[in-house]
Structure 1
Amino acid sequence: MITIPILGLLEIDPYDGWLKSQPIEINALSGKFEFILEEYETDPQVEDFHTAVQHFLALDHTALEQAQDAIYQYYQDCCAYITPASEEYIDIPSPNQVWRHIEFGDELMVSRRAHGDNAVYISITCHCDWEPEHGLQIVFKQGLTINKIGAFDGHLSHADSYDDPRLEEMVYVPCCR
Structure 2
Amino acid sequence: MKIEDIGDFDHDPQFDWYYGPVESGEPPIPQFRFVLEEYLEDKNQSEFRTAMLNFRSNGSKAIKAAEEHIFEYYKDITNLIDTEDEEDFPLIKSSRDVWSYLRIGDEVLVSRRPYGDKKIYLSIECGCDWEEEHGLQIVLKEGMTVNKLGPYDGHLTNSDAYDVEEYENIVYKKIT
Shorter-chain TM range is over 0.9
Kept in 2, the 8 Å contact 1:27–1:59? The answer is no
Distance in structure 2 (CA, Å) of the matches to 1:77 and 1:38: 32
CA shift for structure 1 position 28: 5.3
Q: Helix, strand or coil: the match of 2:93?
A: coil
Instruction: State the percentage of identical aligned residues.
Output: 39
CA shift for structure 1 position 81: 3.0
2:80 paired residue number: 81
1:46 paired residue number: 45
2:141 paired residue number: 141
Paired amino acid for 2:8: L
List per-residue Cα deviations over 1:67-90 (Å, max 9, x = no partner): 011100000101103334222532
Pair 85,74 (structure 1): closer, same or farther in 2 beyond 3 Å: same
List per-residue Cα deviations over 1:142-172 (Å, max 9, x = no partner): 0000000100000000000001110000000
TM, length-normalised to structure 2: 0.95
Distance in structure 2 (CA, Å) of the matches to 1:160 and 1:119: 13
Distance in structure 2 (CA, Å) of the matches to 1:121 and 1:110: 6
Paired residue total = 175
Distance in structure 2 (CA, Å) of the matches to 1:16 and 1:165: 30
Q: Does 1:116 align with 2:103?
A: no
Structure 2 unaligned residues grouped into runs of 5+: none
Q: Map of 1:9-20 to 2, 5 A cutoff?
A: 9-20=8-19
RMSD: 1.3
Q: Helix, strand or coil: the match of 1:166?
A: helix
CA shift for structure 1 position 104: 1.2
1:6 paired residue number: 5
Structure 1 unaligned residues grouped into runs of 5+: none
Q: Helix, strand or coil: the match of 2:111?
A: strand
Paired amino acid for 2:127: H
1:64 paired residue number: 63
Kept in 1, the 8 Å contact 2:29–2:104? The answer is no
Pair 151,84 (structure 1): closer, same or farther in 2 beyond 3 Å: closer
